[in-house]
Amino acid sequence: MSHNIQQTTLGVLARQYLEYLEIERGRSLKTIENYERYITRFLAASGAKEPADIDDEMIRSFRLWLNRQNAGVREGRQETLKKKTQNYYLIAIRSFLKYLRKRGVESYAPEKIELAKIAERTIDLLTPQDLRRLLDAPNGDSVKELRDKAILELFFSTGLRLSELCALSRDIDLTRDEISVRGKGEKVRVVFLSEDAKKAVSAYLKKRTDMDDALFVRIGGLEKGSPLGIQKGRSFSDGESMRLTPRSIERMVKFYAAKAGIMDKVTPHILRHSFATDLLYNGADIRSVQMMLGHSNISTTQIYTHITDSELRSVHKKFHGKGK
């Protein structure tokens, strides 16, 4: 991997840090690309060349610089970087400084960098009625509709990330109720298949005639008006993977949401949200949901708990003060 970082002492250390993330921490190349961008911009904007150069004023100036960055025009208004995006930069810098400390390099104390306060995250969810209509939207028996039905059922049954679903292979064992997936940070976890998901995947695989290893593939000769925009009659050369891309699946989900008459935005990630909240509504504990989602930190999973807080009032009313 090429790191476009200036040739200074800090630049050399930054390159070594990115290599450390890749080799020793096993971070994905996408994460490393992002961290490279954040750290490169910090070094360029701050002018820091030596670890000892970084001080309170430099961090303050960089935060001010971040806060004034142009993030484009939206609805006729000029927007600056969102606080959440600014925090990504600060997290990367803080992590780099922790790495320097670990190596015994004197620099700025990472714990002195506080993140910007951001509004509590809100989660878009489908109503149970909309979810049912979406899952039922692919209702034909063509290989394309069977494939799309299998994708939607798998999303809701497993809570898989989009990238994880795209990476599945067709050697899936449908005699079992579980499959192993490799998620973020190369961590393997078990997810579970509902009867509806197994039935949908089985019907799709029986209809397939290609030999591609991918579970979900592009289909040659898609009918006109296909949501995937593949040319009709397109053939695939020998050795070319027919595996569906994340973008294709996003478009497919959007297509069926429109077909189902759902006015709100629907994405694969919203199906993941629906999976998590469905478990919590039905009594699952937060640790189990964390494991099924593949979250390394339970604080990430806790964004879902406030959605089910409406249930707490009835619990309080039912159980509180009964011993008085």
What are the boundaries of each domain within the chain? 9-112, 128-311
Q: Which of 15, 94, 144, 295 is catalytic?
A: 295
Distance CA 257, CA 249 (A): 12
Angle in degrees, CA 9, 10, 13, rounded to 5: 90
Number of CB atoms found within 10 A of residue 210's CB = 14
pLDDT tens-digit series, residues 226-236: 444 333 333 44
- Structural contact between residues 222 and 228, judged by C-beta atoms closer than 8 angstroms: yes
Active-site residue, 161 included: yes
314 has a pLDDT exceeding 50 = yes
pLDDT tens-digit series, residues 148-184: 999 999 999 999 999 999 999 998 889 888 888 888 8
Active-site residue, 295 included: yes
Q: How many whole angstroms from its chain centre is CA 189?
A: 16
Active-site residue, 256 included: no
Distance CA 246, CA 18 (A): 26
Active-site residue, 269 included: yes
Confidence of residue 95 (pLDDT cuts 50, 70, 90): very high
pLDDT tens-digit series, residues 19-53: 999 998 888 888 899 999 999 999 999 999 999 99
Helix%, strand%, coil% for the chain, nearest 5: 55, 5, 40
Determine the topology of domain 128-311 in CATH.
Answer: hpI Integrase; Chain A (1.10.443)
Active-site residue, 304 included: yes
CATH architecture of structural domain 9-112:
Orthogonal Bundle (1.10)
44-52: list long-range contacts, CB under 8 Å, 24+ apart. 44/6, 48/10, 49/6, 49/8, 49/9, 49/10, 49/11, 50/8, 50/9, 50/10, 51/9, 51/10, 51/13, 51/100, 51/105, 51/106, 51/107, 51/108, 52/106, 52/107
Task: Give the H or E element holding residue 132.
Answer: helix 128-136
Active-site residue, 35 included: no
223 has a pLDDT exceeding 50 = no
Helices 195-207 and 143-158, axial angle in degrees (round to 10): 150
Q: How many whole angstroms from its chain centre is CA 256?
A: 21
- Give strand pairing partners of 174: none
Q: Which of 20, 88, 269, 281 is catalytic?
A: 269
303-to-19, 90, 181, 311 alpha-carbon distances in Å: 32, 21, 23, 15
Number of CB atoms found within 10 A of residue 63's CB = 16
Output the CA torsion sign for 112, 113, 118, 124.
negative
The DSSP-derived string for 13-66 is: HHHHHHHHHHHTS---HHHHHHHHHHHHHHHHHH---SGGG--HHHHHHHHHHH
- Structural contact between residues 220 and 234, judged by C-beta atoms closer than 8 angstroms: yes
Per-residue pLDDT averaged across 115-126, rounded?
73
In the prediction, which pLDDT does 278 show?
87
Q: Which of 35, 99, 204, 304 is catalytic?
A: 304
Q: Which of 27, 161, 198, 273 is catalytic?
A: 161
87 has a pLDDT exceeding 60 = yes
In the prediction, which pLDDT does 104 show?
95
Task: Give the H or E element holding residue 79.
Answer: strand 77-80
Confidence of residue 9 (pLDDT cuts 50, 70, 90): very high
pTM above 0.95, yes or no: no
Tell me the pLDDT of the chain averaged across its residues.
84
Q: Which of 184, 199, 251, 259 is catalytic?
A: 184
Confidence of residue 11 (pLDDT cuts 50, 70, 90): very high
